[in-house]
Amino acid sequence: MYDVVVVGGGTAGVAAAYTAAKSGLKTLLIEKKIHLGGAITSGLVLPVMNAGKSEINRDFYDDLVKKMSEFGAQIDFQGNNGWFNPEVLKIVLDEMLSAAGVEIRFLTSVTKVEVGFDNNIKSLELRSELLLENINKIYSHNNSDMLRGADPKQLLECIKQIDGYNNSEEGNCLLECVETRYVIDATGNCDVGKICGCNFIENETQPVTLRFIMSGVDMKKFAEYLRSVDSDKEVSPIEKIDGCIHLSTAYTWDKNSTWALRPIFEKAIAAGDLTLEDSNYFQVFTVAGCDGALAFNCPRILKDLDISDSKAVSEALIEARGSIMRLANFCKKYFTGFEKAYISNIADDLGVRVSRRIEGRYLYTERDLKEGKRFENPVLEANYPIDVHSSEQDGSELKKVGYYQLPIESLMSADINNLFVAGRCLSADFKAQAALRVQQSCFSMGEAVAKYIRNLIS
Ligand SMILES: Cc1cc2nc3c(=O)[nH]c(=O)nc-3n(C[C@H](O)[C@H](O)[C@H](O)COP(=O)(O)OP(=O)(O)OC[C@H]3O[C@@H](n4cnc5c(N)ncnc54)[C@H](O)[C@@H]3O)c2cc1C
């Protein structure tokens, strides 16, 4: 029996599991991939956007920044200390969560949820993807020392699966049932809520992005080039930190904005080096501890995408990778400093800004956010703007707002008593979610939910 099972070891999930285990709760973390970090590591989403300096539920984030700095994988750029190296983050999260006492289960997801008549989750059925090699090992050692002392129920399940292995696609998995007092759904898409049959808020979508990194950029030359074409320090800040040049720059196809890089993009489109769609959004950031690496917050795919439609997602991935190739060649041809640059990483997950959101005990609205409404149990205090990416030219918005709070009730399922959510699948309307989805806020949500559960238990 666990006190809490956190499903999804991404941005909000790691903060939730870390906080829960550190406060003494028996905590299991279920992650379907082979590493933690979610959008940050799988999606190469960096840096953490500055969402203000509030002190509410920032312990995990502060510990993370400290540990990343010890690993030489973090910098403070223009007053934002959330510039990370995403590969090292995987190692740091393993260490932090293991040291806190979290039991981590990779390659695992939830297949079934048992909900009692009292509307409480009793248990979760887990499916663990195992390597064929491991299954063969168990199979060939059947009745051997390796299986002595194993739970007979689990063993039976295990053997059933192995026997079916040759004939069934489902064969390379083991099923296991775990009991828990509380569940935190931090899957981004609210997968546990979906299995439980919860109600959702599903309305407008934002374009998805497949991010990538180019390495081998001569940053000194690129910085000089940027200075010569764009003197606007708001758009193209450049700073020397620990002997390395760090910078960022951006361009969008929106006509209502003035961008110094516009003539360069227009020239590339006219020459057939880029399509108009390739140029819809372009943003780059240097990466902490990776001299010569630039992380791209593009290409943004303009279709309205149902992320549960595997055919549509597959087409989007293929389209995005084609666009990545064109963008990389464009940089090499048009920007000084890219002569020896190459694509070094492509995200292994599409970056999804918004999808299924839980119907919670409180639906947080754009109005609450704009009015800075105060709550009895605030989860976070932030000032990140309403940031809506649109598929239409001139349709995007980035609206500055003052400080706002989010109540814990927006992270509680309205349907299931012991189900909480954390991260971008919170109970918020479209515009409010467009501000709250950033990483700093997701970390706070995870931490706050874990603290709330600890108080319920103690
Ligand atoms: C393109 C893009 C750019 C962005 N740019 C920025 C930025 O620059 N700065 C910023 O602060 N924010 C940015 N954001 C927002 C932010 O990164 C995300 O909203 C936030 O990280 C989401 O956190 P999460 O915990 O909800 O989900 P995630 O971090 O995606 O975590 C979900 C985790 O659950 C796992 N999972 C999913 N389903 C299951 C399942 N069924 N079983 C087990 N595990 C499962 C996933 O593998 C993943 O690890 C951006 C988002 C996108 C998409």
Does residue 181 fall inside a structural domain? no
Q: Could you tell me the distance, in angstroms and rounded to a whole number, from the CA of residue 111 to the centre of ligand 1?
A: 21
Q: What is the pLDDT of residue 399?
A: 85
438 lines ligand 1 (CB under 6 A): yes
Residue-wise pLDDT tens digits, 214-230? 999 999 999 999 999 99
Give yes or no: residues 337 and 365 share one domain: no
Q: Distance between CA atoms of 195 and 183, rounded to whole angstroms? A: 13
Index of the ligand 1 atom closest to the CA of residue 51: 11
7 lines ligand 1 (CB under 6 A): yes
Q: Phi-psi region for residue 226, left (φ > 0), alpha (ψ -120 to 50) or beta?
A: alpha
Does residue 281 fall inside a structural domain? yes
Q: Which of 335, 439, 343 is nearest to 83 (CA)?
A: 439
Q: Taking the model in full, what pTM does it have?
A: 0.93
Measured by CA distance, the residue closest to atom 37 of ligand 1 is: 187
Q: Could you tell me the distance, in angstroms and rounded to a whole number, from the CA of residue 8 to the centre of ligand 1?
A: 10
Index of the ligand 1 atom closest to the CA of residue 36: 49
CATH code of the domain containing 67 = 3.50.50
Q: Could you tell me the distance, in angstroms and rounded to a whole number, from the CA of residue 425 to the centre of ligand 1?
A: 10
Give yes or no: residues 15 and 44 share one domain: yes
Q: What is the pLDDT of residue 164?
A: 43
Measured by CA distance, the residue closest to atom 13 of ligand 1 is: 438
Give yes or no: residues 294 and 328 share one domain: yes
Q: What is the pLDDT of residue 257?
A: 86
Q: What is the pLDDT of residue 135?
A: 53
Q: What is the pLDDT of residue 165?
A: 39
Q: What is the pLDDT of residue 174?
A: 62
Give yes or no: residues 341 and 359 share one domain: no
Domain termination residue (choose one: 327, 346, 365): 346
Q: Distance between CA atoms of 162 and 159, rounded to whole angstroms? A: 5
Domain count, the chain: 2
357 lines ligand 1 (CB under 6 A): no
Give yes or no: residues 318 and 369 share one domain: no
| Ligand 1 binding pocket mutation candidate from 6, 30, 32, 348 (most atoms within 8 A of CB) | 32
Does residue 42 fall inside a structural domain? yes
Give yes or no: residues 321 and 370 share one domain: no
Give yes or no: residues 60 and 28 share one domain: yes
187 lines ligand 1 (CB under 6 A): yes
442 lines ligand 1 (CB under 6 A): yes
Give yes or no: residues 330 and 377 share one domain: no
Q: What is the pLDDT of residue 127?
A: 86
Give yes or no: residues 223 and 342 share one domain: yes
Domain that holds residue 59: 2-107+353-457
449 lines ligand 1 (CB under 6 A): no
Q: What is the pLDDT of residue 4?
A: 98
Give yes or no: residues 446 and 361 share one domain: yes
Does residue 144 fall inside a structural domain? no
Give yes or no: residues 443 and 415 share one domain: yes
Q: What is the pLDDT of residue 256?
A: 85
Does residue 401 fall inside a structural domain? yes
Q: What is the pLDDT of residue 445?
A: 98
Does residue 372 fall inside a structural domain? yes
**Phi and psi, residue 235, nearest 5°:** -85, -40
**Residues 9, 37 contacting (CB under 8 angstroms):** yes
356 lines ligand 1 (CB under 6 A): no
Domain termination residue (choose one: 316, 346, 376): 346
Half-sphere exposure of 311 (CA within 13 A, CB side): 0
**Residues 355, 418 contacting (CB under 8 angstroms):** no
Residue-wise pLDDT tens digits, 325-345? 999 999 999 999 999 999 999
Give yes or no: residues 362 and 339 share one domain: no
Regions in the chain scoring below 50 on pLDDT: 131-132, 152, 163-171
Q: Is 129 helix (H, G, I), strand (E, B) or coil?
A: strand
Query: Which residues contact residue 194 at a Cβ distance below 8 angstroms, ignoring those fewer than 6 apart?
Result: 200, 356
Does residue 201 fall inside a structural domain? no
Does residue 324 fall inside a structural domain? yes
Domain termination residue (choose one: 289, 313, 346): 346
| Ligand 1 binding pocket mutation candidate from 45, 48, 411 (most atoms within 8 A of CB) | 45
